[in-house]
A and B are shown apart, each in its own frame.
Chain A
Amino acid sequence: MRGYLLGRLVSGIIVIFLALTAVFFMVRASGDPVLLFAPLDTSLEGIEAIRERMGFNDPLVVQYARFIGDAVQGDFGDSTRERRPAMEIVLERLPATLQLGGVALLISLTVGIPLGILSATRHGSGWDKLARVISVAGQAVPGFWLGLLLILFFSVRLNWLPTSGRGGFDHIILPSVTLAALSTARYARLTRSTMLDVLGQDYIRTAKAKGLGDRIILWRHALKNASVSLITLTGLEIGRLIEGAVVVEQVFAWPGMGRVTVQALLNRDFAVVMAAVVLFAAMYTIANLLADIAYGWANPQVRL
């Protein structure tokens, strides 16, 4: 178990390293990197100054070694816009993103899984139809548009909820529901198909023949076995929530990592972009590690 987790951790670090390398060379390959780092209104002398200060006159190998050396220490350089460490800017926004993603995950788990179970146990019923409509429609609706529709209805028309920003409880409702929509659809869909599969197994029939109650069969026999694929999905889902947050945070002006990254890209502030990339990759690696651990717990046949 420990060896396996260590292996995963190492491969996670390799992945982050490769991601950094990719961004480094993409920025370099795009032409004059100074133009990417410099704010758009910089003068010619200003550009030369930045070039010298950031070491773009050095050979590429030297630049790369310095970049990786700094990155290992968590130093991605200063934001050209805010003139302070890029990592600091991104880390400040981490709690907001974790909060939004956490609430969204909670919503999709508490809505998607029961919906999928209802839809599987009452195959063909109204619940089943509802779950199928939600899982098909949920995957077709673009996140940014759903968010705007919710704003139009609940903020503009009804004036119940704030349109944007982070604040009290009422601020998080619309963004988290928007973010949760897609993943609720996926949970409902996967729970339904897995439960249908599990409920058709021999051991469920045996349990029924033994005279066990429906509730015990459902919770102790069926759901526990279905949970394996749900845990795998959750590992993937965390990554997708982070991805969705990039767009949703922009719609609701939610001050999280996604928003700061998009703003940095618009401002061509690549130090911040690189810091964010590393943090996103790290979050994803950790989520998958946790999913692996939970996986081994739910299914003792899997030896980590």
Chain B
Amino acid sequence: MSTATLSSAGGNREFTRQVNRQNRLLRSLRKDWWAMGSLAFLVIVTLVAIFSTWIVPDSINDPNFGARLVPPLTDGYIAGTDQLGRDVWGRMLLGARVSLTVGFVTVICAALIGVPIGMLAGYFGGWLDVILMRLVDVQLSFPFILLALTINAILGLGLRNIIITLVIAGWIEYARVARGETLVVREKEFVQAAHLTGCGSPRIFVRHILPNIITPLIVIGTLQVARFIIAEASISFLGFGVQPPTAAWGSMVSEGLDYIFSAWWLITLPGLALAFVALAVNITGDWLRDTLDPRINT
């Protein structure tokens, strides 16, 4: 009986906390025009990415040598055409799909792997913790992009492998943060109390620790989306990762390299899309941090 009361009270508190958080976010969003604009922009880009295969005709990747290197805003081409006469604007819309898929899928997978491991290491300590911290050291002494390139060179090219690559290179960040936060929360009275009232470890993890460490993880996750999107573009730019004729912003810039003297738009416009999305994600992440938890230092 007593446990039932306790847990339902806990449930109520958690519910209230969630509602509070949502209210706070909505209130601050109304005041912050930058954050609102960024969020709106990201929603539009996400919709474009989802529906791009309907918006853009299937023939987008077919060469059209009659219309090679047409500058932007001529002959009905918004962003001009590339060296094969393909519509750059249409390919940029398709490229949104690659970037957003990579950004979101990678962050979610990396978090799903990193957070449980980090929590376990932080809560129980011992050998898991030792191994994790060593892994963190190794990873920190390794340029992220080099690690990703090496894994990618070994796994092989393509979108699926680039996601795997980025997850392997990126999960440890979540493990590190989850571990640090768990170390702090573990010592709090309510965790001790839950332990004493006989809650099992899984329950303590999911119901008591996770809600208290989720905020910094959300913030870091948001900022990581931008980092992963740029990492994918850099890797594709370097010739690993997404391969032609698939349209991805990084590889589009790379393909435009040979025409740097004659067709500025091939390099400029896909990169601009990339920078705008990364900027919008970062502004949203900063806003989330300032609103939810200004203590977090990223």
Contact = CB atoms under 8 A, between A and B. Distances in A.
A285 B141 contact: yes
Contacts, number: 126
A185 to B, nearest CB: 11
Contacts of A54: none
A276 B216 CA distance: 34
B271 A149 contact: yes
A268 interface: yes
Contacts of B253: 144-145, 148
Given A15-B137, A139-B282, A26 B145 contact: no
Contact of B141 (A23, A265, A284): A284
Nearest to B278: A140
Contacts of A151: 260
A136 B274 contact: no
B239 A266 contact: yes
B33 interface: no
A191 interface: no
Given A36-B154, A140-B226, A152 B271 contact: no
Interface string B145-169: 1100111011100000000000000
Main secondary structure on chain B at its contact with chain A?
A: helix
B146 A243 contact: yes
Among A12, A145, A261, A280, the one with the most B-chain Cβ atoms within 10 Å of its Cβ is A145
B36 to A, nearest CB: 16
Nearest to B134: A18
A117 interface: no
Contact of B143 (A242, A265, A268): A242
B237 A144 contact: yes
B143 A141 contact: no
Contacts of B153: 265-266, 268, 273
In the complex, the 4 A-B pairs of residues with the closest C-beta atoms, listed nearest first: A145-B271, A243-B143, A140-B279, A140-B278
20 contacts: A16-B141, A19-B142, A26-B150, A26-B154, A136-B282, A139-B282, A140-B275, A142-B274, A143-B234, A144-B250, A145-B271, A148-B253, A151-B260, A152-B264, A156-B261, A246-B145, A265-B240, A268-B153, A273-B150, A281-B138
